[in-house]
Chain A
Amino acid sequence: MEAVLAIAIGILVASGVWLLLRPRTFQVIIGLALLSYGVNLFIFAMGRPRTNAAPLLDKSGVVDPSLYADPVPQALVLTAIVISFATTALFLVVMIALRGLTGTDHVDGKEPDR
């Protein structure tokens, strides 16, 4: 599982970084989205992922924490998903506004001189 997770994070982040450095706003926003997926998986991985373990303790007295998954990274991921979703939506609006104002989808608002 670790290998699959690591490869997935690697591919997402690599494609995200590449797209982020492209000159078109649409590529930038897709890059940011992919990067945030990669980062979310990365946070999740930092909680030592394991199968068949619940992140929630039950109330039946003393519990053995080693039988449970770490709930903190999962909470962090939830927060990060919400925030990156909202900021990406905001970025989308600004991107469309720039497209409307300048008539081009280049990140600098004008086509490079050739």
Chain B
Amino acid sequence: MTQGPDHILIAPILIPLVAGALMLFYGEAQRRVIAVLSTLGLVVVALELVDMATHSATSVGLYLLGDWPPPFAIVLVLDRLSALMVLLTSILALSAVVFAMARWDRRGQHFHSLFQFLLMGLNGAFLTGDLFNLFVFFEVLLAASYGLVLHGSGTLRVRAGLHYIAINLAASLLFLIGVSLIYGVTGTLNMADLAVRVPLVAAENRPLLAAGAAILGIAFLVKAAMWPLCFWLPITYTAAPPPAAAVFAILSKVGVYVLLRVSSLAFGSAAAQMTGLGAEVLLWGGLATLVFGTVGVLASQGLGRLAGCSVLVSSGTLLAIVGISGLGGGSTMVAAALFYLVASTIAISALFLMVELIERGESELAGILTVTAEAYGLGDEEIEEEDLRVVSGPGIPRATTVLGMCFFTCALVLAGVPPLAGFLGKFAMLSAVLSFGGFDGGTDIPTVGIVFTAVVIVSGLAALIALVREGIRTFWAAENEELPSVPLIELVPVIVLLSLTLAMTVKAGPVMHYMEATATSLHHPYVYVRGVLGAVPLPEAAVGGEPVPEVAE
């Protein structure tokens, strides 16, 4: 990347910012047009970014905001991982925006603006190469998500929203403490520079750095919903309006993404004594989350909560894999985990969209079945949606059949049953974990591998049981044969999302190849570090007085 700045790198942040602000000047109909155009543009840009990241295997895309030489100002960094996450975000966003146009965007004020700002925060968090800038984008996406949780109002949403906001404000404060501790010890906030400086930290300062990283980690784990920091998630995601919940599916993956990014850069194999910091916590915490999510899935009465608990299962699996990989597990399992991340996020997102379509047709009898939801404090004040059955736009015939097929596909992906993408992801993860010869390089399968395998398989079974139970209750045992007519505009996003998981299954080879390259570059952050710090000739006398150290490794 020696030629001029690639302005396309900042487009995923600028497009939603401009679109979100611009649509405030227009009426309802134009807002929708702007929202669709903006998200379509994001998909195109994200595809282009993935293409750029794939074709520049030896360098990273770099955008110097303010054109200061790194590491002195904020940089945006594009590598395979960030390109992948931006693409995933934009795909989910497009389907959610189209889905929302049927009815949800009229439930309250400024749905589309808030949604665009959420996208801006998400894309910024994925692209930034600076810890404090990450905090700012976190706040942008959180502030927008507070608004989206409350969209449509109602007691349940406001109460869930209050808890969600309180928890995230506290987590943001922890984020600040962690960032400032890391700055105090290493004197840098640039992630690539951090990778260089962490091995050079004096022995007496290492505990302070570890404390800073741990506090920072807790902020991310709240986002990623690791047990016991996850109790807010199912209720919030169930209460959120479906199109918002569909994008919230990737909100919890932001935490996983940042953990993967920071731990591979700052505490990867080059970090000397600090290697694998916190990996054990991630591993066992991830497994606990997995177990908690599994129990939650089995115990769920109602699809919304089931989808919320599926987020926990997905998060737990990913955290455990990040942990094992941090303990020296190699990059193969990370590649598999990324594959699983994409497949499960898309499936959960589709499930959140379907929840409302399915439950819209539920009658009083089904309402009695969900009476146990009162145990969670949900039942007594169900969200009141008066015009729930008011359908706008052309409906499609045989909606139940199509919806049933979608639900079935979604269940297969989530449970990890052959032949779909969920199975491929889980199989690749298990195969990588089981073939990994223990942390001391032995040949025996480590206990961790066995525990992980057992928990993942049981959680798949539990998901299958719960989803089949829901499916039977909704599609086979329903006393009114047909669901109310489902408008096409709400069904198409679901079908598109699920077709993507099908496409991932068919094209598993190329996709997995991309993931493997991503995982390898995460495992050897040399390219990232060199790419960021070597972007321009390093200044002779750095402002800090000390020369910028050479890249370790």
Contacts and interface: CB of A to CB of B under 8 A. Distances in A.
B534 interface: no
A109 B180 contact: no
B544 interface: yes
Contacts of B173: 32, 35-36, 39, 84
A83 B172 CA distance: 10
Given A66-B545, A98-B159, A91 B166 contact: yes
Contacts of B177: 39, 42
Interface string A7-34: 0000000000000100001001000100
- Label chain B's interface by main secondary structure: helix
Nearest to B182: A46
Given A32-B170, A65-B545, A98 B158 contact: yes
Given A83-B136, A102-B159, A94 B150 contact: yes
A53 interface: no
B543 interface: yes
Interface string A98-114: 10011000011100000
B448 to A, nearest CB: 34
Interface string B161-192: 11101100110110011011101100001000
Contact of A73 (B146, B153, B159, B180): B180
B166 A28 contact: yes
Contacts of B189: 72
A83 B163 CA distance: 19
B139 A83 contact: yes
Contacts of B153: 97
A87 B158 contact: no
A29 to B, nearest CB: 9
Chain A interface size, under 10 / 10 to 19 / 20 to 34 / 35 or more: 35 or more
B136 A102 contact: no
B419 interface: no
B377 interface: yes
Contact of B170 (A20, A86, A94, A97): A20
Interface string A44-68: 0011100000000100000001100
Given A101-B155, A108-B377, A91 B183 contact: no
A46 B545 CA distance: 19
Contact of B139 (A42, A72, A87): A87
A48 B184 CA distance: 8
Contacts of B170: 20, 32, 35
Nearest to B147: A90
Contacts of A97: 150, 153, 158
B143 interface: yes
Question: In the complex, which of the residues A73, A84, A109 has the most CB atoms of chain B within 10 Å of its own CB atom?
Answer: A109
B331 to A, nearest CB: 34
Contact of A80 (B176, B184, B377, B544): B176
Nearest to B142: A87
A69 interface: no
Contacts of A86: 143
Given A79-B132, A90-B146, A94-B158, A42 B169 contact: no
B166 A87 contact: no
Contacts of B544: 65
Nearest to B184: A46
Question: In the complex, which of the residues A47, A90, A108 has the most CB atoms of chain B within 10 Å of its own CB atom?
Answer: A90
Contact of A91 (B169, B176, B181, B545): B169
Nearest to A109: B159
A5 interface: no
Nearest to B181: A46
A79 to B, nearest CB: 7
A101 B150 CA distance: 13
B222 to A, nearest CB: 14
Question: In the complex, which of the residues B173, B179, B545 has the most CB atoms of chain A within 10 Å of its own CB atom?
Answer: B173
The 10 A-B residue pairs whose C-beta atoms are closest, nearest first, are A46-B184, A46-B180, A43-B180, A109-B159, A101-B155, A39-B173, A83-B139, A65-B545, A98-B158, A39-B176
Given A39-B177, A83-B139, 10 more contacts: A20-B166, A32-B170, A35-B170, A86-B143, A87-B172, A88-B169, A91-B169, A94-B158, A101-B154, A108-B377
Interface of A: 20, 25, 28, 32, 35-36, 39, 42-43, 46-48, 57, 65-66, 72-73, 76, 79-80, 83-84, 86-88, 90-91, 94-95, 97-98, 101-102, 107-109
Interface of B: 132, 135-136, 139, 142-143, 146, 150, 153-155, 158-159, 161-163, 165-166, 169-170, 172-173, 176-177, 179-181, 183-184, 189, 377, 543-545
10 contacts: A35-B170, A57-B543, A65-B543, A65-B544, A87-B143, A94-B146, A94-B165, A98-B158, A107-B162, A107-B166
